[in-house]
Structure 1
């Protein structure tokens, strides 16, 4: 089924309103999910709506958190998310962080008592819009074994950064520290599809292409021990330093429905104007982009891309042509909508509700 992005956003927003989230906060969550679909990161898009709603209904997630500053200095913030939706908590953390960074030149933001925050690019883009070089990271429930082990300890612990450009789109990297985001394996299992070898191991530590065996086992870090080391550091910054859960002490989003997740995040923002005028900086980034894209391409490569460029092209295509949802995702949304008294059919097609 194909949806215009604004229709899909309205549908998801209306569902979250039904389960007790305010209008503004519902829009934030819906917008972040649809933004992921627009960029082609479907594993972090509206496929997450049913599990978010279940956790809200079960009381594991606070629909209206009192997000507040727990501790601060001139260049640091510790944010207490009050067990709220990660998107709501992170929006407030970024808002407070941008204001502080404009005064101090930069800020480090730790977040405790939060939950799954979706795609990191969503927050990075907001910092970039304020002429900030922005980093975002989060820990996650245990799904990845330490390098050489077979028992999951770390999450896929995503990492994102963004830098503004001038006449070009900003450079944005958003990645998991696993070979692939676990959400892609979940989607493969839902579809009954196999996964490529090298993505995961089973419970015995053997390489597997069986998506369900992969979910029962462990995803693998990208770059072997290098990805493991980066994942470790993200968990230290997001979990240990902030006072949030870390390693196996983060509750599973697809279980532990009676417990908050206690996910931690960490953001860094640097005001470009404290180093050079933002206009000059952006001209230099534009020069870099042009030079990278003009370097000779290897045989069989049509174009060299900078991080985020492919996602930007996908976003433009999906804004024009709509977002296609596969049958399993559509049926999941239809069912959760029915449970909430929100009929997905009222939001389908370009000429219906906008």
Structure 2
């Protein structure tokens, strides 16, 4: 069952909830904004649905309410930061803004962050970079939830990757996990009582399945592109771990709960080249060529990355967000205790 929630109501309820669980008013408002914004974009799996998970992490002491990321080393336009196990959202906002500042100063800026926590919807930070007219390449490692190609046990993370490009007619924002479906999305199908539209992971016998419960039980998602996604996941883990001097997917898997992940925030200022009109024309050329096709289905079309996400936000701002009644009741109960 679903119910319609307006974004202002969600902001108010979540702000109260986060304050009650030890966050300052400023941080509570930031957290409420990010979870609401993610839900507005239609990504409930990493917006409102993640709130109970986040509160559980706080209660377990895995997320430190009064801690946040701090710079520990600097090498020109490259910096290492330590998240001090603070909120992954608060830390990611801080490090994205720092990478943007470095890019504006140097043309390119990179912040590698260790000892942080789940940043919820990765694409949020890609939109942040694009809104500041920066190209962004951002990624994180995760606990093991995907087998390396050819193996049965989960040894790789689904390590979400974001690439964003500013554009006047609508920013380009690619947000993708290395699994065919993110685990938040798989859980969304479970909440809806639905099977996945395509095979998305492995059951306990090592067979591909569309059953979300079986995949959530085994924590074995299907790599995108099979062996190619497996290799890309491994390389992203290597980069995040080496650049931040943080914990790898292997180390994250030694604990029963995911915390202390490693992330990279790379931003580039396209104004460095002083040819903004050329850049805009080149993007329009690529998008027009891609969309000038014979659709597979009647009234169908192709989309550039971020197009449907923006359309979801516009629609949800106007008509309200469709939220799982079970999840919303759980959140309001937490806020009212």
Q: TM-score range by the shorter chain?
A: over 0.9
Partner of 2:269: 271
In structure 2, how many angstroms separate the alpha carbons of the residues matched to 1:182 and 1:141? Answer: 11
Structure 1 window deviating more from structure 2 (271-280 vs 318-327): it is 271-280
RMSD, matched Cα:
2.0
Partner of 2:134: 132
In structure 2, how many angstroms separate the alpha carbons of the residues matched to 1:316 and 1:224? Answer: 35
Residue 115 of structure 1 pairs with residue 117 of structure 2: yes
In structure 2, how many angstroms separate the alpha carbons of the residues matched to 1:299 and 1:112? Answer: 45
Partner of 1:151: 153
Aligned partner of residue 172 in structure 1, secondary structure:
strand
Structure 2 gap ranges (5+): none
Aligned partner of residue 156 in structure 1, secondary structure:
coil
Distance 1:251 1:16, change over 3 A: farther
In structure 1, how many angstroms separate the alpha carbons of the residues matched to 2:116 and 2:174? Answer: 23
In structure 2, how many angstroms separate the alpha carbons of the residues matched to 1:81 and 1:105? Answer: 25
Q: CA deviation at 1:136?
A: 1.2
Partner of 1:329: 327
Instruction: Write the deviation string for residues 109-160 of structure 1: whole angstroms up to 9, x where unpaired.
Output: 2110100001111111111122211111111111111112111112211111
In structure 2, how many angstroms separate the alpha carbons of the residues matched to 1:131 and 1:245? Answer: 31
Distance 1:297 1:213, change over 3 A: closer
Q: CA deviation at 1:93?
A: 0.6
* C-alpha contact (below 8 Å) 2:73/2:80 kept by paired residues: yes
Residue 233 of structure 1 pairs with residue 235 of structure 2: yes
In structure 2, how many angstroms separate the alpha carbons of the residues matched to 1:301 and 1:243? Answer: 50
Structure 1 gap ranges (5+): 340-354
Q: CA deviation at 1:66?
A: 3.7
Q: CA deviation at 1:45?
A: 0.9
Distance 1:66 1:313, change over 3 A: closer
Aligned partner of residue 55 in structure 1, secondary structure:
helix
- TM-score (norm. length: structure 1): 0.88
Residue 106 of structure 1 pairs with residue 104 of structure 2: no
Aligned residues: 334
Partner of 1:349: none
Partner of 2:170: 169
Partner of 1:178: 179
Q: CA deviation at 1:70?
A: 1.1
